[in-house]
């Protein structure tokens, strides 16, 4: 229920941003047009954002025939978590990462890169996929996927503001430029605010689902070390999707470093190892 409230608040906040951009560019008429665009975007994001993100990453769906060990692992973990079997995807990218998407557990999907599958042991990969299923179980995936899609839409609207902000002789073009710069930043702040705490919760939930906190801790350490030298180009081109990943895939250059959507990896590992040390 709480995640539904957060999703509603996120959508309302994004609608307010759309209205502010529209008003700055075109007054009352611009605000109404932007709000209409925001309403359509919210509807689209709810029903189709997962498909959009999977297509963006050129993810290919796999099954027991094309990836038997991987799919069998996800099935076993889904049963342990008492979740419906999600759709399973593989992304042909060397950068090690994974994410979950979908609007609810009945319409969920999990995806992992080939780089992740190659560098992790079976035990570590199991920990990562349990983490992603924890996101599904906690119903994080709706707000995560919607925020990624809507942040991209806000960026597009801000570019519109930059282009048209100075065409009205009665309007200061600086206003349009400021809105164009600040609106995407505001969207990223919204994402950052909802993402860090839930990563800790997904780590904890994933450790409980897999029954192996140490494996997830080892996987996070390995992903962190490998990912630093291997860029994930799709994420660099669409940084609004970075908050969906188990590890921040962005290089950190320029403004990207200001909007890290993930908590410190060392702290995540320490919390998982504390679960191992905790007496039964």
Among 157, 151, 176, 115, CA closest to 259: 151
Average the pLDDT over 50-62 and give the result. Answer: 94
Give the catalytic positions in this structure.
132
Q: What is the pLDDT of residues 251-260, one digit of tens each?
A: 765 555 445 6
Average the pLDDT over 76-94 and give the result. Answer: 98
* Opening angle at CA 76, ends 72 and 77, nearest 5: 120
Q: Check residue 181 and give its pLDDT.
A: 66
**What sign does the dihedral 140-142-145-151 (CA atoms) show?**
negative
Predicted confidence (pLDDT) at residue 272 exceeds the cutoff of 90: yes
Q: What is the pLDDT of residues 144-190, one digit of tens each?
A: 777 767 666 766 666 666 665 555 555 556 566 666 666 666 666 55
pTM of the model: 0.81
Percent of the chain surpassing pLDDT 70? 74
Predicted confidence (pLDDT) at residue 234 exceeds the cutoff of 60: yes
Average the pLDDT over 48-69 and give the result. Answer: 94
């Amino acid at each position: 229920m709480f995640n539904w409230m957060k999703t509603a608040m996120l959508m309302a906040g994004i609608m307010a941003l759309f209205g502010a951009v529209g008003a700055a560019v075109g007054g009352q008429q611009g605000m109404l047009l932007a709000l209409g665009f925001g309403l359509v975007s919210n509807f689209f994001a709810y029903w189709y954002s997962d498909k959009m993100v999977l297509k963006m990453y050129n993810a290919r769906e796999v099954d027991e025939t094309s990836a038997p060990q991987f799919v069998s692992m996800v099935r076993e973990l889904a049963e342990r978590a008492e979740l419906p079997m999600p759709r399973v995807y593989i992304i042909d990218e060397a950068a090690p990462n994974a994410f979950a998407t979908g609007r609810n557990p009945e319409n969920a999907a999990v995806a992992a890169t080939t780089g992740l599958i190659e560098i992790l042991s079976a035990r570590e990969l199991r920990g990562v996929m349990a983490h992603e299923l924890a996101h599904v179980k906690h119903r994080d995936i709706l707000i995560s996927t919607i925020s990624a899609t809507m942040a991209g839409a806000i960026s597009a609207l801000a570019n519109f503001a930059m282009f048209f902000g100075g065409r009205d002789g009665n309007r200061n073009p600086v206003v349009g430029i400021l809105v164009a710069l600040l609106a995407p930043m505001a969207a990223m702040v919204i994402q950052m605010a909802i993402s860090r705490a839930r990563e800790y919760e997904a780590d904890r939930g994933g450790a409980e689902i897999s029954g192996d906190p140490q494996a997830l801790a080892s996987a996070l350490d390995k992903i962190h070390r490998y990912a630093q030298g291997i860029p994930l180009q799709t994420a660099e081109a669409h940084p609004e999707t970075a908050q969906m990943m188990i590890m921040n895939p962005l290089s950190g250059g320029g403004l990207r470093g200001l909007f890290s959507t993930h908590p410190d990896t060392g702290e995540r590992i320490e919390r998982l190892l504390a679960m191992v040390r905790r007496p039964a």
